[in-house]
Structure 1
Amino acid sequence: MILITIAQKFLPVCSNIIVNFTCRTGSSDPYCIVKIDNEAIIRTATIWKTLSPFWGEEYTVHLPPYFRTVSFYVLDEDSLSRDDVIGKVSISKEVLTAKPQGVDGWMNLTEIDPDEEVQGEIHLQISVLGYGDIPRKLCCQVLEARDLAKKDRNGASDPFVRVRYNGKTYESVVKKSCYPRWNESFEFELDETLADTGLLSVEVWDWDLVSRNDFLGKVTVQNRHFLESLEIWFRGFPHVLKRHTILKEGTLGSLRLQLRLRDEVVLTSSHYKPLTELLSQSVGSQLNGNWPDFIMLIDETTTAESRQEVANNLVKLFLGQGLVKEFLDVLFKLELEKTTEPNTLFRSNSLASKSMESFLKVAGMQYLHRLLGPIINRIFEEKKYVELDPSKLELKEAGCAGLHRQQTESDIIQQSSSLLQSYLSELLTSILQSASYCPLLICQVFHQLYLRVQERFSDPDLQAAHSNVKFIAVTSFLCLRFISPAIMSPKLFHLREKHADARTSRTLLLLAKAVQTIGNMDTLACCSKEPWMVCLQPAIQQGITQLKDFITKLVSCHKSEDLELQTRMSLQCGTMEKEGFLFLHRTKDKCMPMKSPFKKYCVTLSKDTLSYSRTQHSKKSSFISLPKIRAVEKVEEKCFGSANVMQIISSEDSGQQETLYLDCKSVNELNHWLSALRKACSHNTNTMSCYHPGIYKADRWSCCHQKEKSDPGCDKTRHGVTLQEWYDPLDADLEAQLIYQRLRSVKHAMRYCSINILGLYQKKVDGLSKLFSILQDLHDAHAAVEEEERSKNKNVFLELQT
Structure 2
Amino acid sequence: MMAADERPRVRVEETIKIKIGEAKNLPNSSGRNCYCKVSLDNEQIFRTTSVEKSHSPFYGEEFEFDIPRDFGVLSFQIHETDLFGFRKDQAIGKVIIRRSELHTYNGLDKWHPILPVDTEPEAQGKIRVRLKLQDAYVNKTCYYKLHVKVIEATDLHACQSSGTSDTFASVKLMNYTTKNRPEVKRTKVRKKTLNPTFDEEFNFSLWDNDLSNYCVNIELCNANMIGDTFMGKVTIPLQSLDLSSSHEASQLIFQNSYMLSEREGRHSGNKADLGSLRLKINYVEDWVFPSRSYDQLRKLIVNSIDCNPINSSPAAVLGRIVKDKIDAAKSLVKIFLHYDKVVDFLRCVAENEIRHTSDPNTLFRGNSLASKAIDEFMKIYGQHYLHYTLNGIIDEIIEDKKPCEIDPSKLKDSESLDANLGNLQGYVERCFVAITCSAIHCPPLMCELFRYIKEAAVRRFPDIEDICFTSVSGFIFLRFFAPALLNPRLFQMRADHGEPLTCRTLTLISKSIQNLGNLGCVQSMKETYMETLNSMFLNDTHIAAVKNFLDFISSPHEYNENSGMPLVLKEGIMIKRAQGRRKKFGVKPFRKRYFLLTTEELSYAKEKGSEILCQIPKEDILAVERVDYEAFKMKLMFQIVQPNRPLYVLANNSVEERDWIYVLKKICQKNPNRLEAYHPGAFDEKKNAWICCGKPQEVIAGCTHVTSISEADSPDTTMHIKVDVDRELEKVYTLFVNKLEDLQNLREEAASSLQKVSDFQLYSRNELQIELTSLNDIIEFCHRHLSEHEDNRKFNRSGNISFRSGTTQVSDTFGIGDLKVR
Q: Is 1:386 aligned to 2:377, yes or no?
A: no
Shift of 1:266: 1.9
Shift of 1:182: 3.4
Shift of 1:471: 0.8
Instruction: Report 1:465-504 matches (<5 A).
Output: 466-504=464-502
Q: What SS class does the counterpart of residue 347 from structure 1 fall into?
A: coil
The answer to whether the Cα contact below 8 Å between 1:106 and 1:256 also exists between their aligned partners in 2 is yes
The answer to whether the Cα contact below 8 Å between 1:475 and 1:519 also exists between their aligned partners in 2 is yes
The answer to whether the Cα contact below 8 Å between 2:36 and 2:77 also exists between their aligned partners in 1 is yes
Task: Indicate which of 721, 726, 742 corresponds to 1:733.
Answer: 726
Once residues 649 and 121 of structure 1 are traced to their aligned partners in structure 2, the CA distance between those partners, rounded to angstroms, is: 29
Q: Is 1:777 aligned to 2:776, yes or no?
A: no
Task: Indicate which of 108, 126, 138 corresponds to 1:103.
Answer: 108
Q: What SS class does the counterpart of residue 499 from structure 1 fall into?
A: coil
Q: What SS class does the counterpart of residue 637 from structure 2 fall into?
A: strand
The answer to whether the Cα contact below 8 Å between 2:20 and 2:61 also exists between their aligned partners in 1 is no
Once residues 384 and 351 of structure 1 are traced to their aligned partners in structure 2, the CA distance between those partners, rounded to angstroms, is: 40
Shift of 1:670: 5.7
Once residues 542 and 440 of structure 2 are traced to their aligned partners in structure 1, the CA distance between those partners, rounded to angstroms, is: 19
Instruction: Report 1:603-682 matches (<5 A).
Output: 616=612, 625=621, 628-631=623-626, 646-648=637-639, 660-663=647-650, 672-673=659-660, 676=663
Shift of 1:503: 3.1
Q: What SS class does the counterpart of residue 531 from structure 2 fall into?
A: helix
* 1:540 match: 538
* 2:335 match: 317
* 1:266 match: 288
Shift of 1:283: 1.5
Amino acid at match of 1:328: L
Q: What SS class does the counterpart of residue 22 from structure 1 fall into?
A: strand
* 1:747 match: 743
Shift of 1:90: 2.6
Residues 162-203 of structure 1 show CA distances to partners (whole Å, capped at 9, x for unaligned) of 233474332343144433333333333342445321333333
CA, structure 1 residues 757+254, in 2 after alignment: closer, same or farther (shift >3 Å)? farther
Q: What SS class does the counterpart of residue 173 from structure 1 fall into?
A: coil
* 1:125 match: 130
Shift of 1:669: 5.8
CA, structure 1 residues 754+633, in 2 after alignment: closer, same or farther (shift >3 Å)? farther
The answer to whether the Cα contact below 8 Å between 2:297 and 2:781 also exists between their aligned partners in 1 is no
Once residues 526 and 598 of structure 2 are traced to their aligned partners in structure 1, the CA distance between those partners, rounded to angstroms, is: 52
Task: Indicate which of 184, 205, 210 corresponds to 2:221.
Answer: 205
Once residues 59 and 223 of structure 2 are traced to their aligned partners in structure 1, the CA distance between those partners, rounded to angstroms, is: 40
* 2:810 match: none
Residues 381-400 of structure 1 show CA distances to partners (whole Å, capped at 9, x for unaligned) of 333333444444444233xx
Once residues 71 and 369 of structure 1 are traced to their aligned partners in structure 2, the CA distance between those partners, rounded to angstroms, is: 32
Amino acid at match of 2:203: E
Q: Is 1:345 aligned to 2:337, yes or no?
A: no
The answer to whether the Cα contact below 8 Å between 1:164 and 1:202 also exists between their aligned partners in 2 is yes
Once residues 185 and 528 of structure 1 are traced to their aligned partners in structure 2, the CA distance between those partners, rounded to angstroms, is: 73
Residues 365-387 of structure 1 show CA distances to partners (whole Å, capped at 9, x for unaligned) of 11111112233233223333334
CA, structure 1 residues 732+121, in 2 after alignment: closer, same or farther (shift >3 Å)? closer
Instruction: Report 1:206-605 matches (<5 A).
Output: 206-210=222-226, 212-223=227-238, 227-240=251-264, 243=266, 246-248=269-271, 251-286=273-308, 292-294=311-313, 297-298=316-317, 301-303=320-322, 305-398=323-416, 412-413=417-418, 415-458=419-462, 463=463, 466-523=464-521, 525-526=523-524, 530=528, 532-534=530-532, 536-541=534-539, 542-556=541-555, 558=556, 560-562=557-559, 564=560, 566-567=561-562, 577-579=569-571, 582-585=574-577, 595=587, 597-598=589-590
User: Mean alpha-carbon deviation: is it higher for 384-393 or for 485-494?
Assistant: 384-393
The answer to whether the Cα contact below 8 Å between 2:620 and 2:642 also exists between their aligned partners in 1 is no
CA, structure 1 residues 522+235, in 2 after alignment: closer, same or farther (shift >3 Å)? closer
Shift of 1:729: 1.1
Residues 499-543 of structure 1 show CA distances to partners (whole Å, capped at 9, x for unaligned) of 333333333222222222222123564558637514532522222
CA, structure 1 residues 734+517, in 2 after alignment: closer, same or farther (shift >3 Å)? same
* 1:409 match: none
The answer to whether the Cα contact below 8 Å between 1:527 and 1:534 also exists between their aligned partners in 2 is no
User: Mean alpha-carbon deviation: is it higher for 263-272 or for 388-397?
Assistant: 388-397
Shift of 1:83: 4.0
Q: Is 1:183 aligned to 2:203, yes or no?
A: no
The answer to whether the Cα contact below 8 Å between 2:319 and 2:325 also exists between their aligned partners in 1 is no
Residues 625-684 of structure 1 show CA distances to partners (whole Å, capped at 9, x for unaligned) of 56x544368899x968xx9x623387999xxxx874324578986675356458879999
The answer to whether the Cα contact below 8 Å between 2:50 and 2:500 also exists between their aligned partners in 1 is no
Structure 2 unmatched ranges of 5 or more:
1-8, 175-181, 244-250, 696-706, 800-822
The answer to whether the Cα contact below 8 Å between 1:56 and 1:492 also exists between their aligned partners in 2 is no
The answer to whether the Cα contact below 8 Å between 2:338 and 2:725 also exists between their aligned partners in 1 is yes
CA, structure 1 residues 16+178, in 2 after alignment: closer, same or farther (shift >3 Å)? closer
User: Mean alpha-carbon deviation: is it higher for 493-502 or for 672-681?
Assistant: 672-681
Shift of 1:569: 12
Indicate the structure whose relative CO is greater, using CA pairs within 8 Å and at least 6 residues apart: 1
Q: What SS class does the counterpart of residue 60 from structure 1 fall into?
A: strand
Q: What SS class does the counterpart of residue 208 from structure 1 fall into?
A: coil
Once residues 132 and 183 of structure 2 are traced to their aligned partners in structure 1, the CA distance between those partners, rounded to angstroms, is: 17
Shift of 1:155: 3.5
Residues 671-708 of structure 1 show CA distances to partners (whole Å, capped at 9, x for unaligned) of 753564588799999999x999x998999xxxxxx999
CA RMSD for the aligned pairs? Answer: 4.7
CA, structure 1 residues 476+567, in 2 after alignment: closer, same or farther (shift >3 Å)? same
The answer to whether the Cα contact below 8 Å between 2:382 and 2:446 also exists between their aligned partners in 1 is yes
Residues 318-367 of structure 1 show CA distances to partners (whole Å, capped at 9, x for unaligned) of 22222222222222222223322222222222222212211111111111
User: Mean alpha-carbon deviation: is it higher for 485-494 or for 539-548?
Assistant: 485-494
Once residues 665 and 268 of structure 1 are traced to their aligned partners in structure 2, the CA distance between those partners, rounded to angstroms, is: 33
Structure 1 unmatched ranges of 5 or more:
1-9, 399-411, 700-705, 711-716, 796-802
Once residues 291 and 682 of structure 1 are traced to their aligned partners in structure 2, the CA distance between those partners, rounded to angstroms, is: 38
The answer to whether the Cα contact below 8 Å between 1:163 and 1:203 also exists between their aligned partners in 2 is yes
Instruction: Give TM-score, length-normalised by structure 2.
Output: 0.75
Once residues 681 and 60 of structure 1 are traced to their aligned partners in structure 2, the CA distance between those partners, rounded to angstroms, is: 28
The answer to whether the Cα contact below 8 Å between 2:121 and 2:157 also exists between their aligned partners in 1 is no
CA, structure 1 residues 600+65, in 2 after alignment: closer, same or farther (shift >3 Å)? closer
Shift of 1:470: 2.0
CA, structure 1 residues 523+301, in 2 after alignment: closer, same or farther (shift >3 Å)? closer
CA, structure 1 residues 577+360, in 2 after alignment: closer, same or farther (shift >3 Å)? closer
Give the count of matched residue pairs: 727
Once residues 57 and 632 of structure 1 are traced to their aligned partners in structure 2, the CA distance between those partners, rounded to angstroms, is: 35
* 1:151 match: 159
Once residues 127 and 685 of structure 1 are traced to their aligned partners in structure 2, the CA distance between those partners, rounded to angstroms, is: 45
* 1:405 match: none
Once residues 490 and 255 of structure 2 are traced to their aligned partners in structure 1, the CA distance between those partners, rounded to angstroms, is: 47
Once residues 352 and 141 of structure 1 are traced to their aligned partners in structure 2, the CA distance between those partners, rounded to angstroms, is: 59
Q: What SS class does the counterpart of residue 248 from structure 1 fall into?
A: coil
Once residues 47 and 695 of structure 1 are traced to their aligned partners in structure 2, the CA distance between those partners, rounded to angstroms, is: 48
Q: What SS class does the counterpart of residue 111 from structure 1 fall into?
A: coil
